Amino acid sequence: ERIAGKNSEKIRSYGTDLAEAIRHMHDKGTIHADIKPRNVIRASDGNIKLIDLDAAVKIGEELTEKKKSTAYVSPEVAKIEFRPMESAESLNDLKEERTKKMEKQRQLDNDDIDDDEELNERVIELSKKIKMIKSNTFAVEKLSKRVN
């Protein structure tokens, strides 16, 4: 939200940029090892950039004591050796899966309410239900006072 707000198109675009930045680092044989919101910025050209590479490690090497002490590293990360991902875990697969999920959600959102008339009908229906609930609540409160 800090960078893209709640605009789904911006979120998708920035998410893709972030995935590309991660892939670029991996292609160069490096793992960032400290990706978190404050290490992701939007540059003046509008592109998403990864910063704070203090914890970055070469693929295949373990974190050294120096790297562990210069920035916080979770215990899980501190124990693992970084190695190339299996093909099933590739960023392309991740990107494709995310795109499919977003498209499915967009279809569901579009299928929910087709037009203003349907929306108005739903609002009227909900208003009636709310009035009924209020009426029932009032009746229960009144009955409760009589019993007590």
- pLDDT tens digits, residue range 87-145? 545 666 666 777 777 777 777 666 655 566 777 777 777 777 777 776 666 655 655 55
Regarding whether 97 and 129 lie in a shared domain, the answer is no
CATH number where 85 lies: 1.10.510
103 and 38 in a single domain? The answer is yes
Give the number of domains in the chain: 2
Q: 117-144 burial, b for 16+ CB within 10 Å, e for fewer?
A: eeeeeeeeeeeeeeeeeeeeeeeeeeee
Shared domain check, 51 and 20:
yes
- 18 belongs to a structural domain: yes
pLDDT digits (tens, 9 = 90+) for 21-58: 888 898 898 888 888 888 888 888 888 889 988 888 88
Q: Where are the beta strands (DSSP E) in the chain?
A: 30-31, 40-42, 48-50, 57-58
Look at residue 72 and tell me if it is in a domain.
yes
pTM over 0.85: no
| 32 and 95 co-located in one domain | yes
User: Does residue 3 belong to any structural domain of this protein?
Assistant: no
Identify residue 26 by its one-letter amino acid code.
Answer: H
Q: Which domain holds residue 139?
A: 118-148
